[in-house]
Chain A
């Protein structure tokens, strides 16, 4: 019976584990190896360079700048997503008429890709021309057109990138908050009402928000990790046939141009960069596990 269980276990888990070995462990192992070699345009390098690639990356202003870009992006996108998706969830959850309609409208952008959203934002809303939507609205107030995606002073492109991501992801996090709100026991509100708490700010602060703690932690971490991996909208909004501007390169965009850019494939530095990024994100995940326990589906 024991051997038959072992056989059955490998029948179920074996194919998955084999794939994971090839497409998860092997890349990580290989990149560790490559990161210690001079690997220009080759994946089987021979010239061992020790930790030079790492030293290069950590002293490379552009790499550090990409971490700064991510940090700035996260500082905008994480709190805004949190507050706005919570607000939408509270509003949708408190109405009785047309609730499904509003929920669907806010959730609909989930069906769009970052590429499609980039197209709309770059060519129609913020195209920088007089007939773009944003500039048309500004012109009603007598304001001159703004070159949204190419202006660095002030850096209007942040407005473009942040609103784009908000539109795409608010509905997703709103659904998470609604699910969290519906798990709050109703009797808490009744008890608070009997105790004289006014519905509104008081119950929000003393019942709703504390009861949403687990969901809130999830939302913050998910938005943070997603911001860390930002690539699609940066590449499509700011990139052009002439390449990518020197500013606003988040880590994955930077890595993309280092490892696979037109200047030739540099897998040594690209791998060292990937290892550093992977270590940083693993650290965040571990800290999260430490701080909040290994949470399972609630």
Chain B
């Protein structure tokens, strides 16, 4: 951290510069918060207030009844699609970390003559982002009969070459002494991994978990292609179909958006430490 080092005396900037800096930050912060304000304002207002000729800063009375209206409307499968999103995101996060974590550890720590070839076979998949091959992936998943099916939404996303690569890099830097002690105590690779390595990697795993969860929750193109029946929609597909079909009132749409963001805002506020680390960790690869 920069704060540890004392800057030379006189290095301190003029108070004017500092004030300008805060002014710029405050303006930028206000702009960044405008969309959140709009979600709340529109979600808790009436149609008339939203379309008022003079901008209404906030509805005169907060229309809490909009919630009841939204959730009691049988033509709006918001809760069901939220449920699907929770299921898909949790399963995908856990499954991806498990499979990629195991693979990363095997590649980093188990001596095997073909390990190099396997590593290159995995790294090669990093050259082509999954989104670019969504058409052929759709073909494979539909041939498996997994359209509009939880398996089709979750399983193809589990095998992330990038996550396996990140785990490998992390395990390469993991202190060997800990593992050697475990080996002396008679643990095999499997036991060492679960009893020594995983319990000591909590921060790293949490960082990747937060990133993976947010990615799953916000994913759109793949669920759009796979979840064709309304019963299998994730919340993003549901919102998108409300938006493009315009069959809902504006306040309902915005309230639905607010509800869809809520789980992530909770994750964001409680786990931001891991999220920031996760971004720094995953973004650095390039």
Contact = CB atoms under 8 A, between A and B. Distances in A.
A58 interface: no
Nearest to B3: A96
Contacts of A124: 38, 42, 250, 254
Interface stretch (A60-68, A150-158, A278-286): A278-286
A204 interface: no
Contacts of A141: none
B22 A105 contact: no
B221 interface: yes
A41 to B, nearest CB: 11
B166 A297 contact: yes
Interface stretch (B4-12, B60-68, B69-77, B174-182): B4-12
User: Main secondary structure on chain B at its contact with chain A?
Assistant: helix
Contact of B99 (A19, A229, A277, A285): A19
Contacts of A105: 29, 32-33
Nearest to A269: B135
Contacts of A296: 169
A232 interface: yes
B127 A274 contact: no
B276 interface: yes
Interface stretch (A47-55, A74-82, A172-180): A172-180
Contacts of A27: 133, 136-137, 139-140
B236 A115 contact: yes
B196 interface: no
Contacts of B161: 20, 24
A270 interface: yes
Interface in B18-67: 18, 21-22, 24-25, 28-29, 32-36, 38-39, 42, 50-53, 55
Given A9-B115, A91-B21, A106-B32, A231 B131 contact: yes
Interface string A77-118: 000000000001001111110000011111111111111111
Given A125-B38, A130-B53, A296-B169, A281 B128 contact: yes
Nearest to B225: A260
B152 to A, nearest CB: 11
Interface string B98-138: 01101101110011100100100110011111111111111
B283 A222 contact: yes
Nearest to B138: A260
B189 interface: yes
A252 interface: yes
Given A43-B143, A113-B260, A23 B132 contact: no
Contacts of A297: 166, 169-170, 281, 284-285
Contacts of B190: 8, 11
Interface of A: 4-6, 8-9, 11-13, 15-17, 19-20, 22-28, 30-31, 34, 43, 88, 91-96, 102-125, 129-131, 133, 136, 167, 171-173, 175-176, 179, 181-182, 186-187, 189-190, 193-194, 199, 215, 217-218, 221-222, 225, 228-229, 231-232, 235-236, 239-241, 252, 255-256, 259-260, 267, 270-271, 273-274, 277-278, 281-282, 285-286, 288, 292, 295-298
